[in-house]
Structure 1
Amino acid sequence: MVKLISLLLLFLTPLLTRAAANKKSPNVIVILTDDQGWGDLSINGNKNLQTPNIDLLAKRGARFNSFYVSPVCSPTRAELLTGRYHPRAGVYSTSEGGERMNLGEVTIAEVFKKAGYATAAFGKWHNGMQYPYHPNARGFEEFYGFCSGHWGDYFSPMLEHNGKIVQGKGFIIDDLTDKALAFIQTNQAKPFFLYVPYNTPHSPMQVPTKWWEKFKNKELTMRADKRAGEEDDNFTRAALALCENIDLNVGRIQDKLQKLNLDKETIVVYLHDNGPNSFRWNGGMKGRKGSTDEGGIKSPLLIQWSGKIAPGSQINQIAGAIDLLPTLADLAELKYQLPKPIDGRSLKPLLLKPSQAWPDRLLFAHWAGRVSVRNQRFRLDHEGKLFDINNDPQQLSDVSAQEPEITHRLIKAVEDWKSEVLKGIAADNRPFPVGHANFLYTQLPARDGEPHGAIVRSSIHPNSSFFTGWKSPNDSITWNVDVLTTGNYQVEVYYTCPVKDVGATLRLSLGSNQLKFKINQAHDPPLKGREYDRVERTESYEKDFKPLKAGIIHLEKGLGKLSLRALHIPGSQAIDFRLLMLTKVN
């Protein structure tokens, strides 16, 4: 008998070893939406719309009932990517360089890439544009989308693919999903980490006609809380239409996984980046985007892993975006080390063994100097008022007088957190890097430039803006740069210019190196975007800017001020300027 067992073990051991070696680590898909409120899902009780595919993630997996993100876009992205509070990562703004994660940070994509995963991101990055802040330098082997904070055109817009300017195809969310599906198809035989940061329902509220027709006359049965502010019905309708479009595309991803028999091998995560971008129904919670109150930072978190996470699980313990890196790495059983301590904790025990004990914790929310803190029961707001969220989710009754000990403890925790985490925030002297040795392209958009003289932005919002009003040789645009590689660079200027103003001579210079070129060709397209806007926008309208190959400039390694100036303006203005693209050449 012993001999028989020994023979069986001798036969089975190689098979078991081979099976263990061939065991595929789970794929991970993280879907993040932009400016979608907690209340913008039918599973959370909103009867103004239907989101069956997103709701299905919760029914097939786990749903966190007290999950928190940051009040605005780039901070949440930084926390999701690093597991650390956003000020630690150097993120203090949403534009002009303040959205960049410090280069010492390690991202979730780098963790998965090091473990042998294929990695990609399709959508809105918003954590740095110039390499090595670019997503291709932060662990993502493939990137398609845009690196800015918002985009002004959702219909076949100018986008980028791994740093190269390309033309999008169709409505942007459908296009991003097409790229995600192609990535899944290509990488189905090996583990992959896929990040899909959609850029809607962020404004401008451009909605495809198919979706707008459904909502433009829709009666809104659920409204914004009366104490919040005035609701713009058309804005709400546009936002809801965009949310239903997102839902359709989440369904397309789910269908692809099932078609390829990957649904049991794939962890799917769904969340929002902040509260709603307008006053609309949000469960009666106080605050919206930009607020550190519940309504500004509460997000759904849905995690599906068929066969591993019990369907319909509801998790009441508080959690945050900082928890996603440790949680997903833990679920995938990755061994990793990070150079800096993280603020998040793995939620794997709650997902796989929800009945076990879970210690209380504090979650902090920060924006524009305001800080609030949440434990399992209470929230201390940025004014020092205390609310029993379990019994008062609308933050109607300040209970600080009834709970002085807890109030004092949380006030002290906020003071300590500010002292540690906010030290030196916004003291930013980081230049924009140019010409990294590992990357061909450097984009220097109007967003990151500084106008001088009469030149003005096309909007008060720098993201996706352009410069106009360039009427004098005394006017210029500058960028504080750090040239990382000495060499020659092909210069492309994205511009518009009417026929009557053709002929301006421009000079691009850095130190003693310069390039002079002339605008010899008119290009005067109309402003666009209004035809699909369902609400008047505050952001800039767009144009189809023309790339002009201006020539080659030699740049020396080091810090300096890159300047674009018009030496001669024969007409009423030089050009409208959108983007400077520098490409390394031999």
Structure 2
Amino acid sequence: MAYNQENLQAKENKPNIILILADDLGFETIGCYGNASYQTPRIDNLAEKGVKFNHCYAQPLCTPSRVKFMTGKYNFRNYEQFGYLNTNETTFAHLLKADGYATCIAGKWQLKGDEFAPFKAGFDEYLLWQITFTSYNERYKNPRVLENGKMKKFNNGEYGPRMFADFIMDFMERKKDEPFLVYYPMVLAHRPFVPSPDSKNYDSFKIANSGGSKDAITDTTYFKDEVAYMDKLIGELVDKTKELGISDNTLILFTGDNGTGKEVVSKMKDGNKIKGMKGATCKYGRHVPLVAYWDGKIEEGQVNDNLIDFSDFLPTLCDVAGVELPNGFMTDGYSFYPQMKNEDYKARDWVFSHFDCGKEKYPKRRMVHNKEWKLYENGDIFHISEDPLEENVLSLDDLNGNEKKLISTFKEVLSQLKSDQ
């Protein structure tokens, strides 16, 4: 297609987007959310100079979140099995690529497929761990990765997260004069918890067992090192936008894919301790950080208390990029871009989750909630603002009139979405 001058101008004005998804990182691990255990100054600074969303909800586990995140659909519509994304699904990368965006992904894949799977998912370039192979302990030191279809194994102390960030920054440098989408599903800070290159014993440290996840170490001593290095890499991406002169045309979004690993206990500034509950459908299994930063384009210091669901990211990215969803394209999400811009918007009244990951130890559960109350499909009611661990099941008799009306609304949502299956 030949572009006329007007088309070229429109293309040049399209904003770049850097979408960062940390691995196994609940909201409680980040300083600006009240954490006192780990160092996250660069993320905290993004929140201070942008928007901190206080109520973003993912799925309890990796693949259910990623499928929902990338396609904008509730899991019952297109989730098939753990570690898999059907290559016939339309992703946010497809939609932006079709509108002239250069697209890149680096980090964790774990969605199966052959060496062409990331290309089929809409990405022009990729450097990814765990596509055609399973290598639980090869994401960090001495990684094994696929780069644009070519398998590469490193054995001289190279650090996977460092390589992924460098790959992205090289892409940014090459594509700085055209609109680009970077999707950075980080491998940090998922176990194994091991030293980073900034740790004193990075060179000498060896993982005791190099088998699958059951053999991986669960000592959380180095979790803080992984979080610090994650924060450092995010800071480098921010600095790169300034170096390239594109910071005022680049939106950066940071979130996590599910709650923190169960081994991790984080101390908060208020003295409380929060245990990671990855895999659980309660607050500490699904509540993740979400920070948005756009140099000079969104008001600094915003704190947003509205509900955000992982299905909202696809329509939000399209809204930012000025991409209209194709006729007939179905999404369960709503753009939260107007909220960043302080424009008129309608906030979510509730968040729905269908969690059926395909693993026996995680039973199927469907639920609707807002910031105060939650209803499961089996009828269990929880006052989640007072009972985040969901230890006390309530009945309708325990509720006042307004609360009963709210639960009635939640029942209608569950019924409607069940009929959509």
Normalised-by-shorter TM-score class: 0.7 to 0.9
5 Å-filtered alignment, 1:28-47, equals: 28-47=17-36
In the TM superposition, residue 295 of structure 1 has moved relative to its aligned partner by 0.6
Alpha-carbon distance, 1:212 to partner: 6.3
* In structure 2, distance between residues paired with 1:372 and 1:163: 40
Task: Structure 1 unaligned segments of length 5 or more: list them.
Answer: 1-15, 94-98, 215-232, 422-586
Deviation at 1:129, TM superposition (A): 2.2
Structure 1 position 104, deviation (Å): 3.1
* CA distance in structure 1 between the partners assigned to 2:252 and 2:18 by the alignment: 5
Which of 180, 184, 204 matches 1:192? 180
Q: Cα RMSD between the aligned structures?
A: 2.8
Q: Which moved more, 1:378-387 or 1:82-91?
A: 378-387
Deviation at 1:262?
1.1
Q: Compared with structure 1, are the counterparts of its residues 21 and 250 closer, same or farther at alpha carbon in structure 2 (3 Å cutoff)? A: closer
* Cα distance between partner residues in 1 of 2:69 and 2:256: 11
Kept in 2, the 8 Å contact 1:292–1:381? The answer is no
- 300-309 or 411-420, larger mean C-alpha shift: 411-420
1:433-472 aligned within 5 A: none
Relative to structure 1, the CA distance from residue 22 to residue 331 in structure 2 (aligned partners, 3 Å threshold; closer, same or farther) is closer
Residues 35, 19 of structure 1: alpha-carbon distance in 2 compared, 3 angstrom cutoff? closer
Alpha-carbon contact 1:67-1:300 (below 8 Å) kept: yes
Residue 182 (structure 1) aligns with: 170
Please say if 1:147 is aligned against 2:130.
yes
> Contact between 2:93 and 2:121, CA under 8 Å: does it hold in 1?
yes
Question: Could you list the per-position Cα deviations for residues 283-308 of structure 1 after superposition, in whole angstroms to 9, with x for gaps in the alignment?
Answer: 66687111111110000111111222
Residues 377, 24 of structure 1: alpha-carbon distance in 2 compared, 3 angstrom cutoff: same
Equivalent in 362, 367, 379 of residue 374 of structure 2: 379
More strand per residue: 1 or 2? 1
TM-aligned CA deviation for residue 108 of structure 1: 0.5
- Aligned counterparts, 1:223-242, within 5 A: 235-242=219-226
- Alignment of 1:173 onto 2:157: no
1:316-351: per-residue Cα shift (whole Å, max 9, x none)?
Answer: 110111101101110121233165411111112211
Deviation at 1:22, TM superposition (A): 6.7
Q: 1:344 aligns with which of 329, 333, 348?
A: 333
Task: Look up the match of 1:223.
Answer: none
Given the alignment of the two structures, is residue 202 of structure 1 paired with residue 186 of structure 2, yes or no?
Answer: no
Of the candidates 249, 254, 257, which is equivalent to residue 265 of structure 1? 249
Structure 1 residues 212 and 371: CA distance shift in structure 2, 3 A? farther
1:373-399 CA-partner distances (Å, limit 9, x unpaired): 213532224663323344554546544
Task: Give the one of 69, 72, 81 matched to 2:70.
Answer: 81
Distance 1:105 1:48, change over 3 A: same
5 Å-filtered alignment, 1:80-479, equals: 80-93=69-82, 99-130=83-114, 134-148=117-131, 151-153=136-138, 154-168=140-154, 170-208=158-196, 210-211=198-199, 235-278=219-262, 279-281=264-266, 288-337=277-326, 339-353=328-342, 356-358=345-347, 360-367=349-356, 368-381=363-376, 384-390=379-385, 392-393=387-388, 395=390, 397-400=392-395, 401-402=398-399, 403-411=403-411, 413-418=413-418, 420-421=420-421
Q: TM-score if structure 2 supplies the norm length? A: 0.82
Distance, in Å, in 1 between the alignment partners of 2:348 and 2:220 is: 39
Residue identity in the other structure for 1:271: T
- Paired AA for residue 148 in structure 2: N
Given that residues 207 and 242 in structure 1 are in contact (C-alpha distance below 8 angstroms), is that contact kept between their aligned partners in structure 2? Answer: yes
Q: Give distance in 2, aligned partners of 1:106 and 1:337.
A: 11
Mean CA deviation greater in 258-267 or 199-208: 199-208
Q: In 1, distance between residues paired with 2:285 and 2:390?
A: 12
Matched residues, number: 382
Which is greater in Rg? 1
User: Taking structure 1 as reference, are residues 331 and 22 closer, same or farther at Cα in structure 2, changes over 3 Å only?
Assistant: closer
Q: In 1, distance between residues paired with 2:231 and 2:251?
A: 18
Gaps of 5+ in 2: 203-216, 357-362
C-alpha distance in 2 between matches for 1:365 and 1:59:
33
Q: For 2:29 and 2:351, locate their aligned partners in 1 and report how far apart those are by CA, in whole Å.
A: 26
- C-alpha distance in 2, partners of 1:122/1:406? 42
What amino acid is aligned across from residue 379 of structure 2 in structure 1?
G
Shift of 1:364: 1.8
Structure 2 CA distance, aligned partners of 1:146 and 1:22?
Answer: 32
- CA offset at residue 206 of structure 1? 2.5
User: How far off its partner does 1:157 sit?
Assistant: 1.9
Query: For 1:39, what is the secondary structure of its paired residue?
Result: helix
Identity of aligned residues (%): 28
DSSP 3-state at the match of 2:27: coil
User: Which has the larger displacement, 190-199 or 367-376?
Assistant: 367-376
Question: In 1, distance between residues paired with 2:6 and 2:405?
Answer: 57
CA distance in 1, matches of 2:46, 2:21: 14
Tell whether 2:50 aligns with 1:61. yes
TM-score, normalising length: structure 1: 0.60
Q: Which amino acid aligns with 1:146?
A: W
**Which digits, 9 at most, give the CA deviation of each residue in 1:117-137, with x for residues without a partner?**
1111011112222266x1111
* 1:372 partner amino acid: M
In 1, Cα distance between equivalents of 2:274 and 2:406: 22
Task: String of CA shifts for 1:514-546, please: whole Å, max 9, x gaps.
Answer: xxxxxxxxxxxxxxxxxxxxxxxxxxxxxxxxx
1:540 corresponds in structure 2 to none
Rounded to whole Å, the distance in 2 between the matches of 1:249 and 1:361 is: 34
2:359 is matched with: none
1:75-128: per-residue Cα shift (whole Å, max 9, x none)? 1111111111133223332xxxxx322233111001111111111101111222
Structure holding more helix per residue? 2
Q: Counterpart of 1:318 in 2: which secondary structure?
A: strand
Question: Using a 3 Å threshold, how does the CA distance of structure 1 residues 43 and 179 change in structure 2: closer, same or farther?
Answer: same
Deviation at residue 190 of structure 1 after TM alignment: 0.7
Q: Please tell me the residue identity of whatever aligns with 1:167.
A: K
Higher RCO structure (Cα 8 Å, ≥6 apart): 2
How far apart are residue 202 of structure 1 and its match? 1.3
2-structure distance, mates of 1:282, 1:328: 34
Letter in 2 for 1:305: W
The one-letter amino acid paired with 2:188 is T
